[in-house]
Amino acid sequence: MKKNILLQTRFRRLKAYLFPVQSNILPEKLQKNFRHLYFDIAWFGLLNGSAISFLTIFAARLGASGSQIGLINATPAVISLTLALPIGSWLENRKLDRSVFLSTIFHRFFYFLFALLPLLLISDETQIWIITVLTLVMSIPGAVIAVGFNVLFAAAVPANYRGMVAGRRNAVFAVVTVLTSLISGRILTTMPFPTGYQIIFLMGAIGGVMSAIHIWFVKPYVLQPKPVSAARTSKGFTFKQPIRRFLIYFSSHYHPEALKGKFGKVLLLLTLYHFFHYLSIPLFPIFTVNNLNLNDQVISLGNAFFYVTMFIGSTQLAKLTSRYGNHKITAIGMIALGLYPTTLSLATGPTMFMVSMILAGFAWALGGTAMVNYLLDAVPSEKSAGYMAWFTVGVNAAILLGNSIGPLIAAWLGLPVALFIFGLLRSAAGLIVLKRG
């Protein structure tokens, strides 16, 4: 009896922590936003722990090279880099929550296609290229999500609650992803190839659609001011000259002023960090599969360790950012994230792989979560979509370069040496953010 009461008490505390009901403090609309943001990330955790986590592993099992996996990872960056500024301008004149919802539904639909891919009975090489093409197409709505969701989050969550909500979203995300990763690893171990991958892609697709449904219920809490178009306020210009007309159009729609001032400085620093961060990303699946010879069960267990430690770190995020600020916590997390590739480069078996995943989880709980809030602190509310579009451009340019250059350097130096150096570069970028941000 006492044991049941204790369990019920713990459950109520966990529920109150994740889904606060503070009617005397928070308006009902704000409580509703918070709850749907938590459910959104929970279902996204199902997608992340299954389809997203194992897509490049699936490609590696099919025989994809480091360059091909780099291309799969870089393809969304190419699309976002091309479309981010027009998307930012487009979102300023659209209903934000509806636009993000429809884009999310369209984007998540493609995971059903990944599940059907092995049924086509085509060669492994052809499947690799189909994965690349599907990734290319789904990146178009993905680019809308990349710009629009952060703007929706800023509009739906007041600044003084962002650290709390972001930390709790991370905690929910970690718990669901851990469970899903363990289940996915078990499925892949017990089921023949590629049936196991079909099952986890289907799981991910369902999670993605449910996540999108909850996004529909997240509504802007603070009415975002409409930006003033420079074309309407400018005087004395003639539109007869094409170059001048283009410059005025560009200035009025794409907010080039974002490249100056505080936001421009933050944008430059985060772009530099993302370049160093993504140098090693395409190397991880190749190193774990080919160099360490780890099976899917061990890889899923490593992912579980990552998300357990991310959960622990996320529970402390609100307290840490409240005390030290988003800037310092972001920089410290970036420095710590450099330990992941450097530690992994020393691995010869599962043990050091697990150690590296544990370190990465703690580091990502700080740097990966506080980073967006650090950026939002520098964004004018009346120009949020346009400014976040520039962030998407900068980050995806860095992702594209990093994913393209990383495998080339690794082919020259060897995977372990390249991973070690890339980890040092991550930490160096974090130090620059700490000192210059």
Q: Has residue 226 been placed in a domain?
A: no
Q: Which of these, 276, 267, 414, 268, lies nearest to 335 by C-alpha position?
A: 276
- Are 345 and 285 in a shared domain? yes
Q: For residue 84, what is the domain's CATH number?
A: 1.20.1250.20
Determine the Cα–Cα distance for residues 371 and 158; give it in Å rounded to an integer.
17
Model confidence at 243, pLDDT cuts 50, 70, 90, reads: low
Q: Which domain holds residue 87?
A: 21-220+244-249
Residues 265 and 184 occupy one common structural domain: no
**Which of these ranges, 8-12, 56-60, 154-158, 196-200, has the smallest mean pLDDT?**
8-12
Rounded Cα gap, residues 304 and 358, in angstroms: 9
d(CA 356, CA 332): 17
Asked whether residue 285 falls in the same domain as residue 355, the answer is yes
Q: What is the mean pLDDT of residues 115-136?
A: 88
- Give the three-state DSSP class for 235: coil
DSSP 26: S
The pLDDT value given to residue 228? 47
* Residue 254 confidence (pLDDT) above 70: no
CB 341 within 8 Å of CB 280 = yes
- pLDDT tens figures, 66-120: 778 878 877 887 888 888 888 888 887 788 889 999 999 999 999 999 999 888 8
297 φ, ψ to 5°? -65, -40
Alpha-carbon distance values, 248 to 150, 238, 400 (Å) = 27, 10, 29
**Quick check: bond before 242 cis, omega within 30?**
no
Predicted confidence (pLDDT) per residue in 303-323, tens digit:
778 888 888 888 888 888 888
Mean pLDDT of the chain: 83
> Of the given ranges (61-65, 195-199, 229-233), which has the lowest mean pLDDT?
229-233
Instruction: Give the residue-averaged pLDDT of 139-161.
Output: 88
Is the same domain home to 188 and 263?
no
Average pLDDT over residues 247-264: 66
Query: Residue 38: what residue type?
Result: Y
CB-based contact 146:392 (threshold 8 Å): yes
371 within some domain: yes
Distances (CA, A) of 51 to 37, 40, 54, 79: 21, 16, 5, 21
Asked if the model's pLDDT at residue 272 lies above 60, the reply is yes
Domain contains 390: yes
* For the chain, percent of residues with pLDDT exceeding 90: 30
Domain match, 65 and 167 both: yes
- Tokens linked to 131: 């994965």
Closest CA to 35 of 220, 178, 218: 218
Band of pLDDT at residue 250, cut at 50, 70 and 90: low
